[in-house]
Amino acid sequence: MSILVTGGAGFIGSHTCVEMLEAGYDVVVVDNLYNSCAEALHRVEKITGKSVKFYEGDVCDRALLRTIFSENEIEAVIHFAGYKAVGESVKKPMMYYENNLISTIALINVMEEYGVRKLVFSSSATVYAGDNTVPLTEDMKLGAINPYGKTKLFIEEILRDLCASNSDWCVALLRYFNPIGAHKSGLIGESPKGIPNNLMPYISQVAVGKLEKLNVFGNDYETRDGTGSRDYIHVVDLAKGHVKAIEWTLGNTGCDAFNLGTGKGTTVLELRNAFVDVTGIDVPYVIAPRRAGDLDEVYALPDKAKRVLNWQAELTIQDMCEDTWRWQSNNPSGYDE
């Protein structure tokens, strides 16, 4: 029996493949390599000493999905495949609705055809409405403000309706906070194409000399030092959360949402300073205007994941900085080396 991982060559997907293989599962990956490369999967194999069966192709392609389900005994699916850049989704909403929604609908239909009804879905903290108080709990008001976030919200709704219609289904909606860091080996990590949108890859590319300085987007937020605060979670902790979520789906039915975060906020300057302390490398910065759509402070209450999934984050901000730097300094151009 195998677990199908869509988008398994990507940042979170590749780390999750490692943890699934190390937990004893066989892994089948489908990825169209739109935002990743096959080298990530070779490295997963190098880390674990186990093989990954890889299908290069699009999750929207039902014929391909049928081939995968026919050729393998798939027990459950982890669905990472999708586009994730918030700014791009505002400029090209149809590209986001098409890829994220159509791929999910195709996947659910083919899963149903093959009687596979266990699914772990990559949702996001971005599904929470901006006017909630922190920490965020799973029952708080939902409401995304950009097309990317709306795709996550719509897919959550689709999956809730699906589970309500057939009690054989079990779906875990995992709401990730801010995944950063890399595997301890330094062999896999985040390899964004072009200039990074997110804070940690930006910091590490300044440190490695690819970018000149960090722009800190606003210092007048209502936080400890005025810069935006987020719940950064080590990608390996996040990946382990998927192993627990798969175990939960295999033994349960219904649909439930879980925050995967640490429960702690860290500001932009705190993260930048931690990175400088851990690596000994300077990261020059300037204060820049606020970025549209950013909130003051976002962090999770992760108690439900602890109670129901028996999972909690263990790694620290220092681990996240150290592991990001090992990956970035060993692979200055990511997988393009």
Number of helices followed by number of strands (H, E) in the chain: 12, 14
**DSSP codes, 178-203:** EEE---TTSSS----SSS-SSHHHHH
User: How far does Cα 73 stand from its chain's mean position?
Assistant: 25
Residue 215 pairs with which residues in a beta bridge? Answer: 286
215 binds ligand UFG (CB under 6 A): yes
Pick one of ligand NAD, ligand UFG, none as the site partner of residue 199 (Cβ within 5 to 8 A by kind). ligand UFG
Q: Report the C-alpha gap between 96 and 9 in whole angstroms.
A: 19
60 binds ligand NAD (CB under 6 A): yes
36 binds ligand NAD (CB under 6 A): yes
Interface stretch with ligand UFG, choices 21-29, 34-42, 174-182, 184-192 (CB under 6 A): 174-182
148 carries an active-site annotation: yes
The residue assigned the tokens 């079990």 is 170
Pick one of ligand UFG, ligand NAD, none as the site partner of residue 312 (Cβ within 5 to 8 A by kind). none
233 binds ligand UFG (CB under 6 A): no
Instruction: Compute the C-alpha angle 155/247/9, nearest 5°.
Output: 60
The active-site residue out of 55, 83, 96, 148 is: 148
Interface stretch with ligand UFG, choices 26-34, 90-98, 155-163, 176-184 (CB under 6 A): 176-184
Farthest CA pair distance, the chain: 56
Q: Report the C-alpha gap between 336 and 78 in whole angstroms.
A: 26
204 binds ligand NAD (CB under 6 A): no
Residue from 5, 9, 81, 86 that binds ligand UFG (CB under 6 A)?
Answer: 86
Question: Looking at beta carbons only, is 81 or 86 nearer to ligand UFG?
Answer: 86
Structure tokens at 202: 């930006």
Rg (CA), the chain: 19
217 binds ligand NAD (CB under 6 A): no
Pick one of ligand UFG, ligand NAD, none as the site partner of residue 110 (Cβ within 5 to 8 A by kind). none
Pick one of ligand NAD, ligand UFG, none as the site partner of residue 187 (Cβ within 5 to 8 A by kind). none
216 binds ligand UFG (CB under 6 A): yes
CA-to-CA separations, 77 to 89, 107, 304, in angstroms, rounded: 25, 9, 22
Structure tokens at 292: 């549209």
Residues in contact with ligand NAD by the rule CB under 6 A: 7, 9-13, 30-36, 58-60, 80-82, 84, 99, 103, 122, 124, 176, 178-179
Catalytic residues: 148
